[in-house]
Chain A
Amino acid sequence: MLFLRVDGLNETCMPDTNTALVQGTLDMLILKTLALEPMHAHRIGLRIEQISQGVFLVNPGSLFPALKRLERAGWVESRWRSTENSRRAKYYVLTAGGRKQLKSETRDWKTQSVAIARILQA
């Protein structure tokens, strides 16, 4: 008898369109998206895709772990609700902490991007 364990899957390369996203950037984008209104996962993905005009395609393999991280950190909360198509889905809501985090991350991002832009133009 042979014991098999199939837990190596995470390390087999899945093509990920978001490899270009800096680690942590996705978290900020999700927070920003949720700042408008509570949304479920699919809507979050769609929204990022739309607003970035198709530059960022959010893969569920990145989206769900990110949502778990944010929820763990206490920046979003989730509850089950019915969707516009009258299906049940888990909606994510920005918390007060999340709002603060978004603000500080946005500020940092702006400072950094301005700095990077300057360097690139120099």
Chain B
Amino acid sequence: MNIFHELTAGLRELVRRNKTESELSEELDAYVQNVADAKVQAGATRDEALRAARLEMGGMESVKHQVRAAGWEFALEVFAQDVAYGVRMLLKSPLFTAVALTTIAIGIGANTAMFSLVDAILLRPLPYPKPQRLMVAGTNQRGESPMSPMGTADFLAWRDRQHSFEQVAILDGAGGNFALSGMGEPERIPGVGVSADFFSILGVAPLKGRGFHPGEDRPGATGVVVISEQFWRDHLDFDPNVLNRTLTLDGKQHTIVGVMPAGFRFPPREPVDVWAIRTMNPPQARPPFGLHAFGRLKPGVSMRQAAAELDQIVAQVNAQYPSSTPLAGVMMPMKEWMVSEVSTALLVLLGMIALLLLIAVVNVANLLLARAAVRQREVMVRMALGASRKRVVRQLLTESAVLSLLGGVLGLLLAYLAIRAFLAFGPGQMPRLNEVGINSGVLLFTFVVCVGSGMLFGLAPALETSRPALSDPLKDANRSSSSASARRTHRALLVFEVALALLLMIGSGLLIRSFVRLSDVSPGVQTDHVITAAISLSNNYPDPPQFWKQFLEKLQMLPGVKAAGITMSLPPNLLEITNPFTVEGQGYDRHRKLQLAEEMSVSPDYFRALRIPLIKGRFFSPSDRVEEEKDPMIVIINETMAKQYFGTNDPIGGRIQTGDPNPSSPWETIVGVVGDVKYSGLDAGREPTIYVPYNENAWAGWAREMYLVVRSSGSAQQIVPAIRDQLASMDGSLPLAQVRTMDELLDESLVQQRFRTWLVSGFAALALLLSAIGIYALISYSVSQRTREIGVRVALGAQRRDVLGMVLREGLQLLVFGLLLGWVGAFSATRLMRALLYSTSATDAVSFVATSVTLVVVALLACYIPARRATKVEPVVALRYE
């Protein structure tokens, strides 16, 4: 009741300012008259009485002020006045304002953009109901890699025996696309296989139709799919009768049962067009492991309990497959599973951008400090007239808040553009990008950062300006000198700025060096003149090798084709499978450390197409076809495997077994050793690789989805139409997908690293520029302050060199302190980015030294310009200068 009263009264007064003011004047007037009347009655003359009454009152304005100050609206009014005043002050010095605003806008814009990424990807809960109860389950070899996908056997056991989850489902990690045919040009569309409870666990309702029914993933069930809204629009023209239409995916009929809304994205990295039901047969063997399993915890069940239960079930499966490597069950929250890969990079980038903002803040503080000297006289006048220091500081802080908020508005604009640009041109491959945007949380962040940085860069100058001066600057009317303490603050800030800039530069130096090393890594193949593409055969081909043989023969005949081959995996990072192996004589201890090889089936000319060097033995030959069981199976291994497992012995003729350690597995004979090729990314270590002929019986079934690799004599792209023609002549329904040159593949594999290296280098360049400006401004200012001193020195016989040295020394001093501080910071901070570095130590000497030298050179240049100006000082002019 009272508060309401206060509020309305205050508002009323704000609105009717004039009326209340005149009423107050009138009342005070009447008061004076009444006092005077009393005095007249006591015998004074009218004039005397009035004068005495006014004296007693102690100043009409003062009383009015106190009355006004009694209401809350007064503080608001003062604030509004301060803001208006601040804006006027900023408009009065447009150059200062422009520089300061740009600096702040860049700092805040970059932070806002980065924060909106971090917010959407790392901070916000997943866009599903009760997302904290969503868990991802997988297996690993005890104590080994954090979490690998599950095999079918483990999942089925878990699904049937667990009691911790309301429901569990899988997302098939393999594939990632389907061949769509029967709708115009055949093409590959992004899609995933999922099990029946997939949609109900995530809890997102379809836009149209339904999700999958329980049991629709049983073996033998008819194929059903749910499509994305985008697919509905692009391929089906928003057909209202979309439900129950059929799609031919990988040559098999699927019925559309639902449409998911546009905002639904799972898997979270890239949008998919179709979610197809994946039927699961009880498996023959435990591998392959390719299922991302997840579930929704029952209320009251903790992740720890659920993980323990999973581990028990996996242990039962271990017993069920005695020859398989024993595994452990592991579990993690779904959000962690989605974002853990990018979180380090994002947080390091956010930290670096925060550094950039700090540099911007220090720079603006320095600008304000330089202005403080000019403002001091004005402030002194106000304090002489009775303003308290608190009042003056408040006014100055309001001014810097105005500055930072204006900068923040500009920054928001920049951030908006930056986010748009990032989404359009940045590296796609990041989870939850569809959720990125400027929302209320981001706005709040920006606001807080604005006000915070306003206070940060305003506080030191405000305190400095309002410091009670020993020598009265009012008297010193012609000099605008700053106090010794102001200079100290100024220098300390500059040292800090140099240190921050160095820290950022070292960080970017490390990333650049790491990136250069990574780019220098040879993928093990000759990338020029090579085109690659993906072809996927439908189930209509009972004998895929037969198809490939004919197709490759046709391609070999094309003019310009030097070699054409097919492979399951492509360098530098398109590895499809790894497989355990046993070398003859190694024994079959199933508890030994899992030894995995990258394994793939290839055609004979694959090695020639990529110019993978033959080190020993021979390549595969077309006559190698292994038709019957009694024929020996043959393999080619890479150099690393030869060295690690055969040492000085000749591996040719040696024998290995693949799959889980098992004496009864068939033996495979090594016929050749080839150079190492990177299949798990350029930054991966040396891994054993096993190549098998694509037409070997055991692998024929895998040969449906293959990459084509063609080396041509002309440019790689030119041959593409001819390849398409040949494919169409074989089967018009097969799409030639993911057409890329080998160089492009190499390039794309580095997109993330390249992007963050560029980004951070940009920050570092900005930081360098800002600190150079800061040093330049400080030294210029100091030279202008010392003009008279320099004049005197020159008059007394100082040489040009002496003056130059004197000024440079001042800059050098700051620089040395800044460098030391920056090094200390860098030594302790760069280890945080170790995960982002490739074969580069976090304290890499070259990066440290090179960036420091760059900083010193640029900083000395920034000092040199004003220093040279100092040497041109004419003594006579200087002495008259003041």
Other-chain contact of A8, B5, B59, B391 (Cβ < 8 Å) = B391
Interface string of A52-88 (1 = CB under 8 A from B): 0000000111101110110111100000000101011
Q: Do residues A10 and B31 form an inter-chain contact, with CB atoms below 8 A? A: no
Q: Do residues A2 and B62 form an inter-chain contact, with CB atoms below 8 A? A: no
Q: Do residues B30 and A60 form an inter-chain contact, with CB atoms below 8 A? A: no
Interface assignment of B730: CB less than 8 Å from any CB of chain A:
no
Interface assignment of A40: CB less than 8 Å from any CB of chain B:
yes
Given contacts A42-B35, A65-B69, A74-B5, contact A5 B387 (CB under 8 A): yes
Other-chain contact of A61, B30, B66, B383, B395 (Cβ < 8 Å) = B66
Q: Do residues B31 and A72 form an inter-chain contact, with CB atoms below 8 A? A: no
Report the count of interface residues on A (CB-CB < 8 A): 36
Other-chain contact of B30, A10, A68, A71, A90 (Cβ < 8 Å) = A90
Other-chain contact of B33, A9, A59, A61, A87 (Cβ < 8 Å) = A87
Given contacts A42-B35, A72-B5, contact A7 B391 (CB under 8 A): yes
Whole-angstrom distance between the alpha carbons of A60 and B64 in the complex? Answer: 10
Interface assignment of A23: CB less than 8 Å from any CB of chain B:
no
Given contacts A72-B9, A90-B30, contact A11 B388 (CB under 8 A): yes
Interface assignment of A41: CB less than 8 Å from any CB of chain B:
yes
Other-chain contact of A41, B9, B27, B38, B386 (Cβ < 8 Å) = B27
Interface assignment of B335: CB less than 8 Å from any CB of chain A:
no
Instruction: Give chain B residues whose Cβ lies under 8 Å from the Cβ of A66.
Output: 70
Interface assignment of A6: CB less than 8 Å from any CB of chain B:
yes
- Interface footprint category on B: 35 or more
Interface assignment of B264: CB less than 8 Å from any CB of chain A:
no
Interface string of B24-35 (1 = CB under 8 A from A): 101110110111
Whole-angstrom distance between the alpha carbons of A73 and B61 in the complex? Answer: 24
Interface assignment of A14: CB less than 8 Å from any CB of chain B:
yes
Other-chain contact of A73, B2, B89, B387, B395 (Cβ < 8 Å) = B2
Instruction: Give chain A residues whose Cβ lies under 8 Å from the Cβ of B62.
Output: 9-10, 14, 61
Q: Do residues A89 and B34 form an inter-chain contact, with CB atoms below 8 A? A: yes
Q: Do residues A59 and B382 form an inter-chain contact, with CB atoms below 8 A? A: no
A90 to chain B, nearest CB (A): 5
Q: Do residues B78 and A7 form an inter-chain contact, with CB atoms below 8 A? A: yes
Interface assignment of B301: CB less than 8 Å from any CB of chain A:
no
Q: Do residues B71 and A61 form an inter-chain contact, with CB atoms below 8 A? A: no
Interface assignment of B850: CB less than 8 Å from any CB of chain A:
no
Interface string of B1-26 (1 = CB under 8 A from A): 01001100110000000000001101
B829 to chain A, nearest CB (A): 44
Those of B569-618 within 8 Å (CB) of chain A: none
B243 to chain A, nearest CB (A): 67
Q: Do residues B5 and A87 form an inter-chain contact, with CB atoms below 8 A? A: no
Q: Do residues A6 and B35 form an inter-chain contact, with CB atoms below 8 A? A: no
Instruction: Give chain B residues whose Cβ lies under 8 Å from the Cβ of A12.
Output: 386
Given contacts A3-B89, A9-B61, contact A42 B31 (CB under 8 A): yes
Interface assignment of A20: CB less than 8 Å from any CB of chain B:
no
Interface assignment of A117: CB less than 8 Å from any CB of chain B:
no
The residues of A with any CB-CB pair to B shorter than 8 Å are: 2-12, 14, 40-43, 46, 59-62, 64-66, 68-69, 71-74, 83, 85, 87-90
Those 4 A-B pairs whose CB atoms lie nearest each other, nearest first: A8-B387, A42-B34, A65-B70, A8-B386
A–B pairs, 13, beta carbons within 8 Å: A2-B381, A4-B382, A8-B383, A8-B385, A10-B66, A12-B386, A42-B35, A60-B31, A60-B63, A61-B66, A62-B66, A87-B33, A87-B34
The residues of B with any CB-CB pair to A shorter than 8 Å are: 2, 5-6, 9-10, 23-24, 26-28, 30-31, 33-35, 37-38, 56-59, 61-63, 65-67, 69-71, 78, 81, 85, 88-89, 378, 381-383, 385-388, 391, 395
